[in-house]
Chains A and B, each alone.
Chain A
Amino acid sequence: MSNPQQLRYSKEHEWLSAAEEGVSTVGITAHAAEALGDVVYVQLPEVGATVTAGEPCGELESTKSVSDLYAPVSGEITEVNQDVVDDPALVNSAPYEGGWLFKVRTDDSAGEPELLSADEYAAFAGG
């Protein structure tokens, strides 16, 4: 599955949409979802919580493992995807669409986050 060009990517395999009125959407990449296998449980940060770029802010459990979910940027959580909490399989079936995880109002004072373009991420993740 190709990585959408309009998104930016973290080395922890999250994607981040371009901000609309300061709010970006975050999910995990198709590559990460494939590596995890069937996701069975998603723990997301609370709405209103502050997250820090590169720090864990939740977890994803699959059949075989549990993985931390990292915040790709610093900011305040404005919304979480209740659909994916109720049906974690959305992370596997639609990682860039219905499987989005949360929305974050980015804190610009934290500086420019270190994120990759789609092509850079593809190279990083091994194509």
Chain B
Amino acid sequence: MTDAPRRTPLDALHRSLGAVMTDFAGWEMPLRYGSERDEHTAVRTRAGLFDLSHMGEITVTGPQAGQALNHALVGSLAALAPGRARYTMICAESGGILDDLIVYRLAEDRYLVVANAANAQVVLDALTERAAGFDATVTDDRENYALIAVQGPESASILAGLTDADLAGLRYYAGLPGTVAGVPALIARTGYTGEDGFELFTAPGDAERLWRALTEAGREAGLTPCGLSCRDTLRLEAGMPLYGHELSTALTPFDAGLGRVVKFDKAAAGGTDRADTATTPGTPVDFVGREALEAAAARAAEAPPRKLAGLVAEGRRVPRAGYAVVDAGSGAVIGEVTSGAPSPTLGRPIAMAYVDPAYAAPGTPGVAVDIRGSHEPYEVVALPFYRRER
């Protein structure tokens, strides 16, 4: 790749705020503006403002849009009610995870698929190919959206001052079109931080106006601009997987402990009456990867693969992705760290790691991480590390 990094519509604004920028999936994104620990704490206790315009938006429209997505993805999207969103995955024929996605059903015949920046082209290509036999159109909308997230316990009250939308009626994993600060936006109650929060999809030309209005409205509540560094520690504390770390083409959803996203029994029209369905409503549909995933599910049930576990340090040295998890007694390698960071909330380093099932139960003694040659003791805990009080 020799392409110059891409910049979001808020690039100049980030630089004026003194952001430390980083190259992320071909984009120059804010890593942090000041202290990443302060940004993390702001989201946990007040609210944080994120530019996520690198995310890849793909629109699927048409009378068979839902069926096309049922065929292309592992989830049951035809059954999704308009106005709701779902976490799902797109897999290869082999069952390997190509990406994890959030899919919003914006209307009966209109879906918005949000892919990770690094995988957006792969997802776009796969969706285009897989939708070919359906009366559905797949559109690359990456250039048509900016994405701004407001996350944290104060986010609803901050947003409420800028919109007439019914935020109280907007449930977690729901989205509705509205106007925020005079700017048209899809208002979604989703996020990647473990806190209540909103993601606002808007036109690139409106992004700066929206960001500035949110900054102003959130000043008193302590809204803080936040970079990708704290986004990573926030999602890690919340036990949320990140593609390229916990998820990859080498793993099926069952290997990642996320077999629940695979809906083998999804029906063509999800039980709703539709005159235009190509198959009989109620009949399970075929989808890309079904055969391999059925085998993966059976394998996971008989001989569980390595399990994703939470690790909390007893000391202060930080585990990083790729470090070996070892049996503290024998030194034998029993797993591998996929993500690790100092946890601002716990005050100790934490990690997610794939470990042999015999070591995966919370409280399993004698587990250590090989940190550059030194075996540091770690406690095995249940995920997530952090769960907000509701």
A interface residues (Cβ-Cβ under 8 A, vs B): 34, 37-38, 40-41, 43, 61, 63-64, 66, 89, 92
B36 touches A63 (CB 8 A): yes
A63 touches B233 (CB 8 A): yes
Which residues of chain B are near A38, meaning CB under 8 Å? 35-37, 342
Q: Mark B216-227, 1 if CB is under 8 A from A, else 0.
A: 000000000000
Which residues of chain B are near A64, meaning CB under 8 Å? 31, 36, 229, 341
Q: Tell me the smallest distance from the CB of A118 to a CB of chain B, in Å.
A: 23
B233 touches A41 (CB 8 A): no
Whether a CB of chain A sits under 8 angstroms from the CB of B126 is: no
Query: Residue A61 contacts which of B20, B36, B229, B317 (CB distance < 8 angstroms)?
Result: B317
CA distance A76 to B317 in the complex (A): 25
Query: Residue B35 contacts which of A61, A66, A92 (CB distance < 8 angstroms)?
Result: A92
Which residues of chain A are near B372, meaning CB under 8 Å? 66
Which residues of chain A are near B71, meaning CB under 8 Å? none
B318 touches A41 (CB 8 A): yes
Which residues of chain A are near B318, meaning CB under 8 Å? 40-41, 61, 66
21 contacts between A and B (CB under 8 A): A34-B20, A37-B20, A37-B31, A37-B32, A37-B36, A37-B229, A38-B35, A38-B36, A38-B342, A41-B316, A41-B342, A41-B349, A43-B317, A61-B318, A61-B342, A63-B36, A63-B342, A64-B31, A66-B318, A66-B372, A89-B37
Q: Tell me the smallest distance from the CB of B244 to a CB of chain A, in Å.
A: 15
Report the 7 A-B pairs with minimum CB-CB distance, sorted nearest first.
A40-B342, A41-B316, A38-B37, A61-B318, A63-B36, A38-B35, A37-B36
CA distance A38 to B233 in the complex (A): 13
Which residues of chain B are near A37, meaning CB under 8 Å? 20, 31-32, 35-36, 229
Whether a CB of chain A sits under 8 angstroms from the CB of B266 is: no
Whether a CB of chain A sits under 8 angstroms from the CB of B320 is: yes
Q: Tell me the smallest distance from the CB of B215 to a CB of chain A, in Å.
A: 23
Which residues of chain B are near A89, meaning CB under 8 Å? 37
CA distance A63 to B349 in the complex (A): 9
Which residues of chain B are near A63, meaning CB under 8 Å? 36-37, 229, 233, 341-342
Q: In the complex, which of the residues A34, A63, A64 has the most CB atoms of chain B within 10 Å of its own CB atom?
A: A63
Q: Tell me the smallest distance from the CB of B369 to a CB of chain A, in Å.
A: 13
CA distance A64 to B349 in the complex (A): 12
Q: Mark B343-372, 1 if CB is under 8 A from A, else 0.
A: 000000100000000000000000000001
Closest A residue to B348 using CB positions = A40
Q: Mark B314-332, 1 if CB is under 8 A from A, else 0.
A: 0011101000000000000
Question: 13 additional contacts, CB 8 Å, given A40-B349, A41-B317, A64-B31?
Answer: A37-B31, A37-B35, A37-B229, A38-B35, A38-B36, A40-B316, A40-B318, A41-B342, A63-B37, A63-B229, A64-B229, A64-B341, A66-B372
